[in-house]
Amino acid sequence: MKFKIIMFMTMLLLGCSYSVYTTGYPHLKTIQILPVENLTDNYEMRDLVFSSLIEKYESDGRLKFVGMSPDCQMECSILDYSNKIVSYSGSTVDEYEVRVLFDLLFTDLKENKIIWENASLVVSERYSLADENSQFGTELEAQEEIVVKLFELIMKNTLEEW
């Protein structure tokens, strides 16, 4: 009986270790990310988005980042950036919200077709300098989380097919 339980648990664990990564475009193996265009006065955001997206694609592993002869290409523009107060008490700011408006275009260069386009993608995150229990404590941490969310949205709307 113990042997059956151990075998069941082993099979259960092995069965749960598969990857949930899928690709709706198995012919796409490489990607080129064009330099991010920044139409805002937050100049650091351009470099943060560009370098973070490259890093995320490399760590994800589904598409290899290349400079020449890619299978697909991503274009990204930052159209608007805001960092606004969302709550305060007295003269103390409790919480801010960083909001970024993106224009994205993901193109399959092998089949010469647009896979996904969104000219008004808004990604936002809140942070608090005053609340130590806040998930994010600085504007930079909120910006970094926005790029994580951006990458997840890109992958969900391009390669992942359920």
> CATH number, domain at 113?
3.40.50.10610
The verdict on residue 104 lying in a domain is: yes
- The upper half-sphere exposure of residue 7, i.e. CA atoms within 13 Å in the direction of its Cβ, equals 4
The verdict on residue 70 lying in a domain is: yes
The string over 127-149, giving b where at least 16 C-beta atoms fall within 10 Å of a residue's C-beta and e elsewhere, is: bbeeeeebebeeeeebbebbbee
90 Ramachandran zone, left/alpha/beta (phi>0; psi -120 to 50)? left
Window from 15-24, 135-144, 153-162 with minimum mean pLDDT: 15-24
- Cα 55 from Cα 144, distance rounded (Å): 12
Give me the pLDDT at residue 106, please. 97
The verdict on residue 127 lying in a domain is: yes
Confidence of residue 161 (pLDDT cuts 50, 70, 90): low
Domains contained in the chain, number: 1
Percent of the chain scored above 70 by pLDDT?
Answer: 85
The verdict on residue 47 lying in a domain is: yes
Say yes or no to pLDDT of 15 above 50.
no
The verdict on residue 74 lying in a domain is: yes
pLDDT, tens digit (0-9, with 9 covering 90-100), for 120-133: 999 999 999 888 88
pLDDT, tens digit (0-9, with 9 covering 90-100), for 48-93: 999 999 999 999 999 999 989 999 999 999 999 999 999 988 888 8
The verdict on residue 162 lying in a domain is: no
84 touches 96 (CB < 8 A): yes
Percent of the chain scored above 90 by pLDDT?
Answer: 72
The verdict on residue 24 lying in a domain is: yes
Nearest CA-CA partner of 158 in 111, 108, 101 = 108
Give me the pLDDT at residue 36, please. 97
Domain membership of residue 91 as a residue range: 2-157
pTM of the model: 0.82
The verdict on residue 90 lying in a domain is: yes
Length in residues, the chain:
162
